[in-house]
């Protein structure tokens, strides 16, 4: 049957993607610096091979046979594979290889530039990545805005106009909240020095309690935390640990655990059909933000965490109330990955506007540091003192991931609605969390999101999961409620 041939072919592509994912994980965790050129050549070769398989002419015939299919998996395969096939067949193989090499070079250049806080060392590689990204977008569809073509790879159906509307509503809604919090006494952060080895033990304990399967995954350290799903039974997460910033590192681990749980819960029985894949990056981010924020910053979770900390961090003075207040401290800061929930989306606004300006030619790579600093002063009231804490803080552009950042805000919105729906449906939710019983929370996400993979597009999956909801309002009301608990503010 043609369907069997298609599944076998796509299965080979997915296996190759897993190999490439393993090389990418190794590059960010264990690869010696002198191996970057070799890794670039390896990734380029595999990327060209994957591109060839993804654009195999037989796919067009297989997709034609699936037109009007009654089976939902086959319908989803036709939609998902059809979109990928249409996009990738328009990109020349030599451009695919050049992009893979540029991304490996860019990642290593970013590491060195960030280490030395010297954007000039990154300017050339980033300029090359941007040029190739624009060429790729033009090859895929020269009639569309290149940034929307790029966005489609992460969140199909997302438009520049929809993002502008979303960010506009959030800006308008977050302003009064930030002003209300600024009028209240500030919450003290937790800056106690805690042994990194003890912190790592706590991270692993929390990850296991939330449901992360260590028999099918790993937890390692990297410069920038990430999750790498290589296929069934191999989902790896990384984190960072800082002696005087317990909550930042732990929050990063919980965030990546959310990603890992999604990958581990995908419908792997449908491997080779495109359905055993995440529906979008925004939905993927919703899983990490749900666990990191909705659960991980809640008062009941902090009560449970205080008990685990007493056992695993002997000598640390970490009461439930101290953990809760510090976890929800709001401050206009420089670093996105350290940002609180209230200011986080303003960090994304900065990146979205800069990416759009780069893709429209209104901003050059050379002008990035100045543009970055100006927007941080305007939106967050702070100015980076150096490039490392400014334009070089994220790995994304060095890895060629233009268009990824909006997915974080989409994830925050979806997570808020999932949280509201869970609260309404499970009255014992917070009692369970306070007792360290997370199984029902994970079961809810497995049922509503994970097990469906890419059977539906994200908007349809979210509607099926939580019904008709205003995601922006869900996020704003949740943030006001959490701030009320910590700062005593009231929404006008």
Instruction: Give CA–CA dist 142/29, Å, rounded.
Output: 37
* Residue 214 CB coordination number (10 Å): 11
Instruction: Give CA–CA dist 66/68, Å, rounded.
Output: 6
342 is written with which tokens? Answer: 């209230």
For 84, residues 6+ apart whose C-beta sits below 8 A from its C-beta are 54, 274
373 is written with which tokens? Answer: 């600093």
CA atoms within 13 A on the CB side of 51: 20
Hey, what domains does the chain have and what are their CATH numbers? Answer: 2-149 (no CATH), 160-487 (1.10.1370.30)
pTM of the predicted structure, to 2 decimals: 0.91
Which residues sit opposite 231 in a β-bridge? 234
Average pLDDT, the chain: 95
What's the confidence (pLDDT) of residue 1? 63
What's the confidence (pLDDT) of residue 298? 98
How much of the chain is in helix, strand and coil states, percent to nearest 5?
70, 5, 30
CA–CA distances in Å: residue 154 to residues 283, 285, 410, 471: 10, 11, 11, 19
CA atoms within 13 A on the CB side of 108: 18
The alpha-helical segments, DSSP class H, found in 183-245 are 196-210
What's the confidence (pLDDT) of residue 492? 78
Q: At what angle do helices 439-448 and 246-264 cross, to 10 degrees?
A: 50
End-to-end CA distance of the chain: 63
| DSSP one-letter string for 280-341 | -HHHHHHHHHIIIIIITTSHHHHHHHHHHHHHHSTT----HHHHHHHHT-----S-GGG--H
Q: Residue 81 in contact with residue 274, Cβ under 8 Å?
A: yes
What's the confidence (pLDDT) of residue 157? 81
Q: Residue 454 in contact with residue 277, Cβ under 8 Å?
A: yes
pLDDT 10s digits, 49-70? 999 999 999 999 999 999 999 9
Q: For residue 374, report the phi and psi dihedrals to the nearest 5 degrees.
A: -65, -40
Instruction: Give CA–CA dist 48/100, Å, rounded.
Output: 9
Residues in the chain: 492
What's the confidence (pLDDT) of residue 337? 84
What's the confidence (pLDDT) of residue 338? 84
Q: Which residues are catalytic?
A: 256
Q: Residue 112 in contact with residue 120, Cβ under 8 Å?
A: no
| 197 Cα distance to chain centroid | 26
pLDDT 10s digits, 174-188? 989 999 999 999 999
**Per-run averaged pLDDT (10 residues), the chain, 492 residues:** 93 96 92 91 91 94 95 97 94 92 92 96 97 97 97 92 92 92 96 96 98 97 90 95 94 97 98 97 97 98 97 94 97 92 95 97 98 95 96 94 96 98 97 98 98 96 96 96 97 86
Listed residue (344, 336, 313, 340) closest to 326, CA to CA: 340
Q: Are strands 234-239 and 217-221 parallel, antiparallel or unpaired?
A: parallel
Task: Provide the Cα torsion 468, 473, 475, 480; round to 10°.
Answer: -140
């Amino acid at each position: 049957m043609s369907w069997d041939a298609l599944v076998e072919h796509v299965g080979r592509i997915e296996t190759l993607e897993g190999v490439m994912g393993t090389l990418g994980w190794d590059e960010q965790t264990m690869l010696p610096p002198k191996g970057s050129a070799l890794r670039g050549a390896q990734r380029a070769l595999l990327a060209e091979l994957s591109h060839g398989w993804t654009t195999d002419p037989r796919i067009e015939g297989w997709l034609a046979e699936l037109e009007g299919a009654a089976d939902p998996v086959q319908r989803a395969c036709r939609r998902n594979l059809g979109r990928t096939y249409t996009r990738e067949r328009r990109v020349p193989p030599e451009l695919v290889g050049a992009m893979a090499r540029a991304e490996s070079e860019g990642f290593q250049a970013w590491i060195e530039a960030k280490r030395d806080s010297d954007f000039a060392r990154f300017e050339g590689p980033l300029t090359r990545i941007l040029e190739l990204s624009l060429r790729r977008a033009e090859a895929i569809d020269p009639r569309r805005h290149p940034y929307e073509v790029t966005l489609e790879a992460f969140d199909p159906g997302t438009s520049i106009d929809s993002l502008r509307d979303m960010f506009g509503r959030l800006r308008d809604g977050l302003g009064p909240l930030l002003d209300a919090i600024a009028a209240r006494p500030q919450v003290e952060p937790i800056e106690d020095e805690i042994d990194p080895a003890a912190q790592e033990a706590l991270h692993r304990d929390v990850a296991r309690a939330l449901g992360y399967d260590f028999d099918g995954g790993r937890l390692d350290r990297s410069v920038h935390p990430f999750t790498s799903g290589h296929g069934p039974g191999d989902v790896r997460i990384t984190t960072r640990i800082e002696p005087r910033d317990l909550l930042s590192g732990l929050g990063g681990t919980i965030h990546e655990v959310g990603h890992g749980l999604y990958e581990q819960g995908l419908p792997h029985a449908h491997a080779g059909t495109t359905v055993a894949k995440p529906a979008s990056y925004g939905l993927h981010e919703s899983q990490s933000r749900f666990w990191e924020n909705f659960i991980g910053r809640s008062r009941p979770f902090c009560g449970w965490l205080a008990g685990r900390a007493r056992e695993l961090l002997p000598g640390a003075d970490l009461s439930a109330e101290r953990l809760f207040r510090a976890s929800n401290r709001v401050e206009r800061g420089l670093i996105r990955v350290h940002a609180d929930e209230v200011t986080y989306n303003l960090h994304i606004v900065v990146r979205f506007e800069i990416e759009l300006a780069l893709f429209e030619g209104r901003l050059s790579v050379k002008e990035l540091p100045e543009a970055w600093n100006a927007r941080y002063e305007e939106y967050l009231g702070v100015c980076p003192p150096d490039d490392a804490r400014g334009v070089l803080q994220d790995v994304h552009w060095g890895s060629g991931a233009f268009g990824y950042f909006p997915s974080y805000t989409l994830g925050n919105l979806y997570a808020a609605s999932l949280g509201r729906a869970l609260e309404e449906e499970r009255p014992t939710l917070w009692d369970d969390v306070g007792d360290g019983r997370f199984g029902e929370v994970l079961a809810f996400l497995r049922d509503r999101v994970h097990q469906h993979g890419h059977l539906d597009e994200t908007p349809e999956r979210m509607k099926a999961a939580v019904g008709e909801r205003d995601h922006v309002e869900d996020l704003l009301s949740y943030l006001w409620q959490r701030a009320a608990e910590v700062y005593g503010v009231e929404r006008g």
